[in-house]
Amino acid sequence: MQSMKHSIKHQKAGSLYATFERKGPGAKSSHYCPGCGHGTVHNLIAEAIDDLGIQDRVVFCSPVGCSVFAYYYLDVGNIQCAHGRAPAVASAIRRTHEEAIVISYQGDGDLAGIGLSQILHAANRGENITVLFINNAIYGMTGGQMAPTTILAQKTITTPAGRTAANEGFPLHMAELINTLQAPVFIERVSLGTAAKVMRARAAIRKALRYQTKKKGFSFVEILSPCPVNWKMTPVEARRWLENSLEPVFPPGNLRDLPNAAPAALGAPGAPGATGVSGATGAPRVPGVSGAPGEPATPGAAEPVISQKAATKSERDILEILGANSEPLPTGTVSLAEEQNVKIAGFGGQGVLSTGILLANCAIAEGLRTTWLPSYGAEMRGGTANASVNISHEAIGAPIVSQPNVLLALNLPSLDAFEETVRPGGHILVNSSLVPRQVRRGDLHAWYIPATDMANALGTVQIASVIMVTVYALISGAITIDTLRRVIPLSIKRKSLVDINLRAIDAGVAWHRQECCQDFGRPRLPHVSVAGGTAPGATSEEPPVASSQDPSA
């Protein structure tokens, strides 16, 4: 509690909404992954808007990328622009709304990839706008592909052996590129690597916006920002890598600052560049860039390699890949009472998608047919994600599961979203650690597993979904625990995590034994609600579908 004498020194900026509806009514957290740089930059922008008193003048042009939903956070005018086109949209607003403070907020794929033309021309025209360029050296939203700013030797999912100059070219140095143009008045690169550097980023953003309010002209701030998820690091490790690996390639610092630039007037011949300062003269203010091919800009980067391994596939190989000429699958020991249409849903980062793959791989190991289909929002981690898994003896027509007979709800929004879609007689497995309510439907089986608490007790919350899948395996009999144990080491990249995942399976088995199996393997009723008939519209004639397998058999 705030004592009477203390006063607030730093608090959430007034230019941010109180709550964020994208995450559900009243939600207070962003959709960004833990430790993502976007939130830090949004905070800096919002504070600057507050302090400059420009909230009702700002038009924020958000890009395509993880920050596509910036308009859920910043309580200013917002336009969500087509991919890469934010500087063009911003230019149009600039020219039609004299009092507007126009911010074009863009990521590296958006600005340096598809939108390279737009940014260069807007900068070259010297539009009186502020461009904030979030450079995290990777495509975030789409899952970690190489970006124009990916550094040499950096591994991405499209450069699994690391980017090479010979194959993919060199990383684009956007601040330096813009510094070759005459018109811009302010160009700076900053980093979010440490708290002290965040404060420098804060100063640069404020200066750029202040110049715009004084109609000085085009300002550009490149912000080196962590993407822990796609860099496959913890948020703290990511900041260290940013400092040690990104900053040497993209050195932070001011490239141009013309505080005395005359207010930009459309078509005025004496626009800032005419002062002849810096980049326009071709002075070598381009640290860290070496233009010569075969001379990597990163010290110690791997030598350029062009992969010669583009093996041509025979027609038969291709048919095999597509499964068109596959032999009948070996029949396993498992016999399904009915096709399993499983929906696994939770926050991104709860292992929803990978658990789906695990389940599907187990089904394959059982000799069953299966499909896996991921579905997630624009966010890699903070949002909701779900996976559809079908398991059947027959060929499966469509991979999508719109009416599951099994729902694994790892969080409350997932239960809210999918409870109504479950077929009568189906099963809902609820992660009761994070879901504070009961299943409302009375015409199906509900299981309440404190999976996150159990996982936390084992040492990491990440394995909650494995516990849930273990319980599902026991309830449904669709896959055996033995198979689960054999498949899990194959599906985990970090071998150090195999052990804890195996312990998650043990925990799931123990929970199931204790909670459900005391009565010769039959579910004990107190933990299972069957055909309570309380749900509106529930057909009470529907016979309750008991779990037909003997789980402990």
Beta strands in 276-402 (DSSP E): 340-347, 369-376, 384-392
Three-state secondary-structure class, residue 343: strand
With contacts defined by CB under 8 A, name the span among 167-175, 197-205, 261-269, 416-424 that binds other proteins.
197-205
Helix (H) or strand (E) holding 122: helix 116-125
φ, ψ of residue 298 in degrees (nearest 5): -90, 125
Could you tell me if residue 60 is left (phi over 0), alpha (psi between -120 and 50 degrees) or otherwise beta? beta
Minimum CB separation of residue 235 from ligand SF4 in Å reads: 7
With contacts defined by CB under 8 A, name the span among 29-37, 104-112, 138-146, 305-313 that binds other proteins.
29-37
Q: Which does 411 bind (CB under 5 to 8 A by kind): ligand SF4, other proteins, none?
A: other proteins
Minimum CB separation of residue 547 from other proteins in Å reads: 28
Minimum CB separation of residue 376 from other proteins in Å reads: 16
Q: Which does 452 bind (CB under 5 to 8 A by kind): other proteins, ligand SF4, none?
A: other proteins
Q: Which does 400 bind (CB under 5 to 8 A by kind): ligand SF4, other proteins, none?
A: none
Judged by CB, which is closer to ligand SF4: 28, or 493?
Answer: 28
List the x/- string, 36-65, binding to other proteins by CB under 8 A: xxxxx-xxx-x-------------------
Q: Which does 136 bind (CB under 5 to 8 A by kind): other proteins, ligand SF4, none?
A: ligand SF4
Judged by CB, which is closer to other proteins: 118, or 350?
Answer: 350
Judged by CB, which is closer to ligand SF4: 227, or 535?
Answer: 227
Q: Among 553, 533, 528, which residue's Cα sits nearest to residue 543? A: 533
Judged by CB, which is closer to other proteins: 24, or 399?
Answer: 24
Q: List b or e across 149-173, with b for residues whose CB sees 16 or more CB atoms inside 10 angstroms.
A: bbbbbbbbeebeebbbbeebebbbb
Judged by CB, which is closer to ligand SF4: 172, or 446?
Answer: 172
Q: Which does 125 bind (CB under 5 to 8 A by kind): ligand SF4, other proteins, none?
A: none
Q: List CB contacts of 389: < 8 A, sequence separation 6 or more.
A: 340, 342, 343, 344, 356, 359, 360, 363, 370, 371, 372, 373, 401
Beta-strand relationship, 369-376 and 384-392? antiparallel
Q: Which does 310 bind (CB under 5 to 8 A by kind): other proteins, ligand SF4, none?
A: none
260 touches other proteins by CB under 8 A = no
Minimum CB separation of residue 446 from other proteins in Å reads: 20
Sheet with 253-257, edge to edge strand ranges: 77-80, 58-62, 101-107, 130-135, 219-224, 186-191, 253-257
Q: Which does 194 bind (CB under 5 to 8 A by kind): ligand SF4, other proteins, none?
A: other proteins
Sheet with 369-376, edge to edge strand ranges: 369-376, 384-392, 340-347, 406-409, 427-431, 445-449
Q: Crossing angle of helices 195-213/37-52, nearest 10°? A: 40
Judged by CB, which is closer to ligand SF4: 196, or 395?
Answer: 196
Q: How far apart are the C-alpha atoms of 402 and 64, rounded to whole Å?
A: 28
Burial of residue 143 (CB within 10 Å: 0-12, 13-18, 19+) is: middle
Minimum CB separation of residue 518 from ligand SF4 in Å reads: 41
Q: In the complex, which residues of this chain contact ligand SF4 (CB under 6 A)?
A: 32-33, 36, 38, 66, 136, 140-141, 227-230, 379-381
With contacts defined by CB under 8 A, name the span among 104-112, 205-213, 324-332, 405-413 that binds other proteins.
405-413
Q: How far apart are the C-alpha atoms of 534 and 536, rounded to whole Å?
A: 6
Q: Which does 105 bind (CB under 5 to 8 A by kind): ligand SF4, other proteins, none?
A: none
Q: Which does 251 bind (CB under 5 to 8 A by kind): ligand SF4, other proteins, none?
A: none
25 touches other proteins by CB under 8 A = no
Q: How far apart are the C-alpha atoms of 467 and 507, rounded to whole Å?
A: 7
Answer for which of 62, 191, 298, 433 binds other proteins (CB under 8 A) is 433
Q: Which does 347 bind (CB under 5 to 8 A by kind): other proteins, ligand SF4, none?
A: other proteins
Encode 435-484 in three state secondary structure: CCCCCCCCCCEEEEECHHHHHHHHCCHHHHHHHHHHHHHHHHCCCCHHHH
| Residue for token pair 């004592």 | 3
Minimum CB separation of residue 358 from other proteins in Å reads: 19
Q: Which does 66 bind (CB under 5 to 8 A by kind): other proteins, ligand SF4, none?
A: ligand SF4
219 touches other proteins by CB under 8 A = no
7 touches other proteins by CB under 8 A = yes
Q: For residues 434-493, which are near other proteins according to CB under 8 A?
A: 434, 436, 452-453, 456, 461, 464
Burial of residue 292 (CB within 10 Å: 0-12, 13-18, 19+) is: exposed
Contact call for residues 492 and 466 (beta carbons, < 8 A): no
Contact call for residues 247 and 191 (beta carbons, < 8 A): yes
Q: How far apart are the C-alpha atoms of 448 and 459, rounded to whole Å?
A: 21
Contact call for residues 358 and 466 (beta carbons, < 8 A): yes
List interacting residues with other proteins (CB under 8 A). Answer: 1-12, 16, 20, 28-30, 32, 34-40, 42-44, 46, 73, 194-196, 198-199, 202, 228, 234-236, 239, 347, 350, 382, 410-412, 433-434, 436, 452-453, 456, 461, 464
